Amino acid sequence: MFILFLGAPGSGKGTQGKILAERLGLPKITTGDLLRAAVKQGTPLGREAKKYMDEGKLVPDTVILNLIKEELAKPDAQRGAVLDGFPRTAPQAQLVDATLGERGQRLNHILLLDVLEEELVRRMTNRAAQEGRSDDTPEAIRTRLQVYQRDTAPLIAHYAQRGIVHRVPGTGMIDEIATEIKRIIGR
């Protein structure tokens, strides 16, 4: 089973994705974490990605498409996975659809975490104080929200045509949201 978490930055994809992946015993693939690890290690990928990430812009598809291919090819990801942070653009969605399609698989569920923009900003600003993420500055937060609306939100319509998008209210207690997701997935 392949499950994709969609939602604006700060909507809780990472938190809910982790809970769901652990419950279902599936690996979670998180492009943001992979990129942050590459930045920390100073690999060529990390050096290329850092300038975009710090500004809140998307790392170009020329770079990300390879990363996605590698991750989906891993033995762990053959039976299913929870996808967090990708696909985030139309070309990324095409790659994921095509890769799974070649294997006779598909995205089974898309969970869209719905959170009002003022709450998103509040969460990211709080997180900045706690974790010091280099893209939680006010300018980068603004850019990330704009980029989400422009590049990623259109994927909702793409997947809605297939009837696999579930809207989940993303505000409230973490375990209540997790329970709602469990109800939607049916396991």
* Catalytic positions: 13, 88, 127, 133, 144
Of the candidates 19, 59, 120, 181, which one interacts with ligand ADP according to CB under 6 A? Answer: 59
Q: Which is nearer to ligand ADP, 174 or 183 (CB)?
A: 174
Of the candidates 4, 110, 120, 135, which one interacts with ligand ADP according to CB under 6 A? Answer: 135
Q: Which stretch binds ligand ADP (CB under 6 A): 49-57, 75-83, 155-163, 169-177?
A: 49-57
Q: Which stretch binds ligand ADP (CB under 6 A): 15-23, 52-60, 75-83, 110-118?
A: 52-60
Q: Which stretch binds ligand ADP (CB under 6 A): 81-89, 97-105, 114-122, 166-174?
A: 81-89
Six-digit token pair at 159? 């997947």
Six-digit token pair at 43? 């690999």
Q: Which is nearer to ligand ADP, 104 or 130 (CB)?
A: 130
Residues 94-113 that bind ligand ADP (CB under 6 A): none
Q: Which is nearer to ligand ADP, 135 or 178 (CB)?
A: 135
Residues 19-38 that bind ligand ADP (CB under 6 A): 31-32, 35
Closest to 148 (Cα-Cα) out of 86, 81, 94, 91: 86
Taking the CA atoms of residue 16, residue 9, residue 88 and residue 109 in that order, the dihedral angle to the nearest 10 degrees is 30
Residue nearest ligand ADP, CB atom distance? 32
Given the rule CB under 6 A, which residues bind ligand ADP?
9-10, 31-32, 35, 52-53, 56-59, 64, 85-86, 88, 92, 135, 144
